[in-house]
Amino acid sequence: MAQPWDKWIVPLAARRVIQALEHAGFEAWVVGGWVRDALLGMPRHDIDVTTDATWQESALVLSEAGCAVCQTGTAHGTVTAVCEGEPIEVTTYRVDGAYSDHRHPDEVRFVRDVREDLARRDFTINAMAWHPERGLLDPFGGEKDLQACVIRAVGDPQRRFDEDALRIMRAVRFSLRLGFEIEPRTQGALRRQAASVADVASERVGKELDAIVRMGKAGRALLDQPEVMCAALPELAMARDFDQRSVYHIYDVYEHIAHVCNAVQAFTAGLAAPELQWAALLHDVAKPVTYSEDVEGHGHFFGHPQQGAQMAVAIMHRMAIPTEIIDAASALIRWHDDRIPATVRAIRRMLVNLSKACPGREIPLAYELLDLCRADAVSKCPSAASWASKLDDYTRLVRQESRHEPPLTTRQLAVNGADVMRVCGMAPGPGVGMQLEVLLNAVMEGELPNEREALLAWLSA
């Protein structure tokens, strides 16, 4: 895959590291994702260097070259050199021993041949090295696989996944990110060993899953890789093949979730916020545990939004998703199934609920909630999809309210507790807050304007 020379311009910091090591008599190469993305002509970020120097030798040479050196992973032969203000990881050529826990090598052995180091890596497209003078080193056909748009394990795929089960998630992520197919032997091993994802630390799985979600590819992942996604999110395993027994649904719960994820991307032109993408993935996670049937055999899921919000919080905490995403996504899930009238009063109530969950974020969350509701509607049956167009009325009301900025909390009223105590002759206590709540409800219902004189007149009446 020939590329213009400028694709191979190595950042100054990495050039300094390579030059320092090679001037000291060692060998050094750029490896990993930087090489892959350079061949693809994609933006490149972090750059890693591998060398035949031990970490102690690397640290000494780079320190003498004026780089600050941190011992960030010496057990695996890694130090981080800070050159030109940029951190560069420098790792000794190594091969890994057995992985008895499917997560960490039982031992690491340092070697002198870069080809041995490349042989331990996960996929051919990540097992290439590049040098400013020697050019590309590609012993496993990574460049050819890039041209063929294929994800292929280095060597025996079953062994690669047995060594580190997180590679199963990485295979899926790379496939989705690059739009590549997973070659048949690698795909077969991936499916056979998908259950071993459960052996991986939840936060590591969460990092991979979060990347898939944020790419907007969760729906495709659910449909193309159900074994992997159910291993990563065991709560979704119950949703697979779960018949909803509803005239409003043409898909089982799992398929419906996948279609909602895809529809969210369509309604937002691929710009859905992370909390909306997570909400789409988990919005019906509680359906299997809330299922009931009426006397006619029709399925119902009473309380699934509330329970789903609680389950989503636990799932996302387990996966170390940022708290601000958890709070917003759980609020969207909690309110996604509410059928409220298209009135100013109902919209204000919705904004109040969202404000309580995520103060100050109620307006953007209201638009996200409407997108989730649209996606939910078009992913049911054709007759239910008509509800999506009716949500345009709600959007207009949210836009109107965002301009008027109605009070959503008692703190936003034109009067305060001191006013209540003075006008009503009340002492400090719960009664003051109750009066303010009454005023807020009156303003929310449109019975009073949020104007100081009008509110004081009401209090004194």
Structure tokens at 281: 């993935």
Report the distance separating Cα 411 and Cα 394, nearest Å.
26
Q: In CATH terms, are 5-148 and 413-460 the same topology?
A: no
pLDDT of residue 9 exceeding 80, the answer is no
- In the chain, the amino acid numbered 8 is W
The domains of the chain are located at 5-148, 266-404, 413-460
Mean pLDDT calculated for residue range 365-372: 96
Global model pTM greater than 0.75: yes
Which residues are paired to 135 by β-bridges? 131
Q: Which residues of 228-260 are buried (b: 16+ CB within 10 A; e: fewer)?
A: bbbbbbebbbbbbebebeeeebebbbbbbbbbb
Q: Is-contact 31 50, C-beta < 8 A?
A: yes
pLDDT at 1: 43
Enter the CATH code of domain 5-148.
3.30.460.10
For residue 108, the surrounding DSSP H or E stretch is strand 108-110
pLDDT at residue 264, as a whole number: 97
| Centroid of chain to Cα 443 | 39
Tokens of 388: 């999506």
Q: Do 435 and 442 form a contact (C-beta atoms < 8 A)?
A: no
Lowest mean pLDDT, pick from 97-111, 164-178, 289-303: 97-111
Identity of residue 287: K
Q: Residue 98 pLDDT > 70, yes or no? A: no
Residue with tokens 């490896």: 31
Average pLDDT over residues 52-72: 94
DSSP 172-208: HHHHHHHTPEEPHHHHHHHHHTGGGGGGS-HHHHHHH
CB-based burial of residue 17 (10 Å sphere; 0-12 exposed, 13-18 middle, 19+ buried)? buried
Half-sphere exposure of 61 (CA within 13 A, CB side): 24
What is the mean pLDDT of the segment spanning 112-127? 95
Backbone conformation region of residue 360, classed left if phi is above 0, alpha if psi is from -120 to 50, else beta: left
Q: What is the pLDDT of residue 443?
A: 83
pLDDT in tens, 326-340: 999 999 999 999 888
User: What is the pLDDT averaged over residues 43-72?
Assistant: 92
Q: Which amino acid is at 421?
A: M
User: With left for phi above 0 and alpha for psi between -120 and 50, is residue 297 left, alpha or beta?
Assistant: left
Of 145, 233, 226, which Cα lies nearest the Cα of 191?
226
- Average pLDDT estimate for 29-45: 89
Architecture of domain 413-460: Orthogonal Bundle (1.10)
Write out the two tokens for 332. Answer: 């969207």
Q: For position 385, what pLDDT does the model report?
A: 79
Tally the C-alpha atoms within 13 A of residue 224's C-alpha that lie toward its C-beta.
19
pLDDT class for 2, splitting at 50, 70, 90? very low
CA–CA distances in Å: residue 460 to residues 421, 433, 444, 450: 11, 16, 20, 16
Tokens of 70: 């941190």
DSSP-derived pairing of the beta strands 135-137 and 129-131: antiparallel
Give the mean pLDDT of 289-299: 93
